[in-house]
Amino acid sequence: MPLGNPLWEVVEPYLVAANLYTNPDPTHGRYLLPHHPPHLELINNPDVKHVWRRVFLKPYKEFNTLEEAYDSCEIIGSEEVQLKPEELASGVKRGGRWVFYSVWKLDKEPQGGWEEGGKGLNRDLLLVHATTDCGTLPMSSTSSKLASALSSQTFLLQYGRSTGINSYLPSLNLLPAAVHAVLSDVAHWDISSGRHQRQVFLSGAVCDKPGRIFRADSSLYYVLKYPPSSSESAIADTHEGAPRPNIAGAFVLCPMVDVSPESRPSALIEYIAKGIKYFAGSLPLAKAVRGNVSDDPRVEADFFSDPIRLVHGSADRATSPAATERLFHRLPNADKSFKLYDGYEHVMCKVGIDAADDEKRQRVLKDWRSWLIAHCDGDDNSNKQE
């Protein structure tokens, strides 16, 4: 049946689970989508080394329960890819379940020099990406001046060129599991190449242009679920219960701690969704602001161990700035900060139509860069609300 057929979307997961059907494209048409034209600025840049990779996860059918599979980040292999049709067939043969991510390395010093004389060199920045973009995030003024080492963009399971029905999240455990799989693969890659594991910063936000969504809540959930590890060899060990990657910190814009009333569907739609989620959970019943899926109460659990900065716009109509501020006060971190940008909406880094209009975006990017640079040296900016 054609992609997007509602009846097929309901029936297919059951056919796959019963081994009666194998989907030849487990990304549901997303893997071979063309690049968004602005992304070619990065892909065709001779000063940037760029690769695509995918990490294969243990197939669902090899777990006793689906919940066990959703919570697992057990890696069975990884490879560089070229986004060719034959890679779909080879991926299905390897279990048909993978996380796709993009990696770039800037070898040449950018115009204007490195930020703060190169304090951010040889650090990794992991951008957690989501719903509306299946290509590669262009090298922003944030990442390009911060890192000559690897910067990664992760497409979570159920999104982008990763496998799964687009935006269908049967379990929130899928999100941090995908992030952890990518971090583990990068660590394996570093160690096998004779490099040491570098500091890794997580970032999630709505940034750059409308529609480019980063799962800020996934970054929060990850640092909660996977405490740090000080052993780089242990980071590369992906068996269940292994020590976790040592995250240097997280810069999080507009996290979905709670959904803004403007983005919630009607009460009737919510009641219908609660009734049919057990047999037709993949059907899209409501169209809210892109990037919104559900509340994650676990985000507010009282344990975070990494430096963290929360940023929100006071005029956000997609997620709740008040909930983010409440979360800030509950965080036990010794190093935490929060800033509420007056008048900003959910997309805080929209490119302006002219220099004056772009000033709002530049304020956020400067904040982002400054925080990352400060924490490359472990500077203390603890417990600060602005």
Between CA 29 and CA 4 the distance in angstroms is 10
pLDDT value of residue 303: 37
Q: What is the pTM of this model?
A: 0.74
Output the pLDDT for position 295: 39
15 vs 52, which has greater pLDDT? 52
DSSP assignment string, 294-355:
---GGGGSS---S-EEEEEETT-SSB-HHHHHHHHHH---SSEEEEEETT--S-TTPPPSST
- Work out the average pLDDT over 130-139: 45
Q: Above 50 in pLDDT, residue 370?
A: yes
pLDDT surpassing 60 at residue 247: yes
Over range 90-102, report the average pLDDT: 93
Strand 247-253 to 200-204 pairing: parallel
**Termini Cα distance of the chain:** 53
130's tokens: 């989501």
> What pLDDT score was predicted for residue 218?
58
Beta strands in 7-106 (DSSP E): 48-57, 75-81, 98-106
> At residue 125, does pLDDT exceed 90?
no
- pLDDT, residue 167, reads 73
Per-residue pLDDT, 246: 65
Q: Is the pLDDT of residue 191 over 50?
A: yes
Res 13 pLDDT > 60: yes
Phi, psi of 62, rounded to the nearest 5 degrees: -90, 5
Alpha carbons within 13 A on the beta-carbon side of 327 = 31
308-313, strands of its sheet edge to edge: 75-81, 48-57, 98-106, 150-155, 124-129, 200-204, 247-253, 308-313, 336-341, 384-385
pLDDT at 84 over 90: yes
Per the prediction, the chain carries an average pLDDT of 73
In the structure, what pLDDT confidence band is assigned to residue 98 with cuts at 50, 70 and 90? Answer: very high
pLDDT at position 340: 93
Average pLDDT rounded to a whole number, residues 1-16: 70
pLDDT for res 91: 96
Give which of 102, 97, 103 is closest to 72, Cα–Cα: 97
Burial class of 22 by CB neighbour count within 10 A (0 to 12, 13 to 18, 19+): exposed
In angstroms, rounded to a whole number, what is the distance separating the alpha carbons of residues 385 and 340?
A: 9
pLDDT at position 244: 52
- Kindly indicate the confidence band of residue 344, based on its pLDDT and cuts at 50, 70 and 90: confident
- Name the band, by pLDDT with cuts 50, 70 and 90, for residue 301: very low
Please give the residue that has the higher pLDDT: either 279 or 240. Answer: 279
Lowest-confidence segment of 52-61, 152-161, 223-232 by average pLDDT: 223-232
Q: How far apart are CA 270 and CA 268, in angstroms?
A: 5
* Helix pair angle (216-225, 174-192), 10° resolution: 70
